[in-house]
Amino acid sequence: MNRQRKHIAYFVFFIAIFSHALTVFCAENIRIRIMAANLTTGNKQSYEDPAKRIFQALKPDIVLIQEFNVGNNTTAEIDAYIQESFGAGFNWMREPGKEQIPNGIISRWRIVASGDWSDTAVANRDFAWARIDIPGDKDLWAVSIHLLTSNATARNTEATALKNYISVNVPAKDYLVIGGDLNTGNRTENAIKTLSAIVETASPYPADQNGNTNTNANREKPYDWVLPNSYLHALKTPLIIGKSIYPDGLVFDSRVYTPLSEVSPVKSTDSSATNMQHMAVVRDFLLELPSPDIWYLY
Ligand SMILES: [Ca+2]
Ligand SMILES: [Ca+2]
Ligand SMILES: [Ca+2]
């Protein structure tokens, strides 16, 4: 072996060792940002520009959406709204049945299967579910719900029905998130106790920069939730927007958020737009996967 070929041999050897080391130490970190959104405005209880700006600013990967109405609800109108709000390539489902204020799910990743489970307590919506093919082997089941305003007993009846649907339909070891507008008057009512059998319901809760965890328009009630099961909760990570860090997630209120430059193109008046339902609630999770691509370097 002449000297030059020897150098090349050493070079190839070190590349091989180095790339092997990369397979051991490199992991791919995938952020999964999940939002509960009952953000309809205007006189038709539908998604308009204020919600669109909030979606554009907060960049969720998965949205558990309520009152999922856009214009006349044609597929083309909803497709256009989703593309403008989240960018190209996002997927969505709207619960079947043509109810007045349906639940739905929006996802960066492919929706493998979706549908609704009947909420017999209320005529204008059901429990919407989607099985999402997130990166890695385990799927994420997302369930978007909108419990009754009427009273806590009715909400607990709904929560009990939902718990039963999930125990029958969702593989116990998959990731699961339940969320949306639960209309809960406090953090300890029976519906939450019921759901605590399948998802993590304990504090700390997402909050705004002032520490306020309430999510209705006047910020006095904890109506909206993002509830992960134990596997997903184990991936909890601080939510970072610009220079701001929210260790337990964010309740987004454009009226109090500073600086608004971190959440462009939101306007300070978006959370007080005509008939704006609630505040968005956002939580981040971090999935660490090995990087198999590195194996192909040598
Ligand atoms: Ca339905
Ligand atoms: Ca129903
Ligand atoms: Ca997957």
CATH number, position 190? 3.60.10.10
How many Å lie between the centroid of ligand 3 and the Cα of residue 110?
A: 9
Cα 123 to Cα 96, 102, 146, 170, 198, distances in angstroms: 13, 10, 12, 24, 25
Q: What is the pLDDT of residue 153?
A: 98
Range of the domain at 198: 29-288
**How close is the Cα of 62 to the center of ligand 3, in Å?**
15
pLDDT at residue 14 tops 70: no
> Would the pLDDT of 8 be above 90?
no
237 belongs to a structural domain: yes
Ligand closest in space to the Cα of 94: 1
| pLDDT tens per residue, range 103-116 | 999 999 999 999 99
pLDDT of residue 27: 82
Residue 4: inside a domain: no
H helices of 30-112, where?
49-58, 75-86
**Residue 261 maps to a domain:** yes
In a domain? residue 148: yes
Count up the domains in the chain and report the number. Answer: 1
Percent of the chain with pLDDT over 70: 89
Residue 217 pLDDT greater than 70, yes or no = yes
Asked whether residue 67 is assigned to any structural domain, the reply reads yes
Give the Å distance between the CA of 183 and the centre of ligand 1. Answer: 19
18 pLDDT tier (thresholds 50, 70, 90)? low
- Determine the distance separating the centroid of ligand 3 and the alpha carbon of 141, expressed in angstroms: 12
Give the pLDDT band of residue 10 (cuts 50, 70, 90): low
Calculate how far, in angstroms, residue 153's C-alpha sits from the geometric centre of ligand 3: 38
C-alpha span between 169 and 164 (Å, rounded) = 9
Instruction: Return the pLDDT at 294.
Output: 54
Is 13 inside a domain boundary? no
Query: What do you get for the CA distance between the two ends of the chain, in Å?
Result: 22
Question: What pLDDT, on the 0 to 100 scale, is given for residue 290?
Answer: 86
* Residue 19 resides in a domain: no
Average pLDDT over residues 237-246: 98
Higher pLDDT, 215 or 5: 215
pLDDT at 232 over 90: yes
What's the mean per-residue pLDDT of the chain?
A: 93
C-alpha distances in Å from residue 269, one per residue of 49, 50, 53, 214, 272 = 11, 8, 11, 18, 5
Is residue 3, in this structure, part of any structural domain at all?
no
**C-alpha angle 207-279-178 in degrees, rounded to nearest 5:** 80
The alpha carbon of 126 and the centre of ligand 1 are apart by a number of angstroms equal to: 5
Mean of pLDDT values over 247-254 = 98
Least Cα distance to 36 among 101, 87, 106, 136 occurs for 106
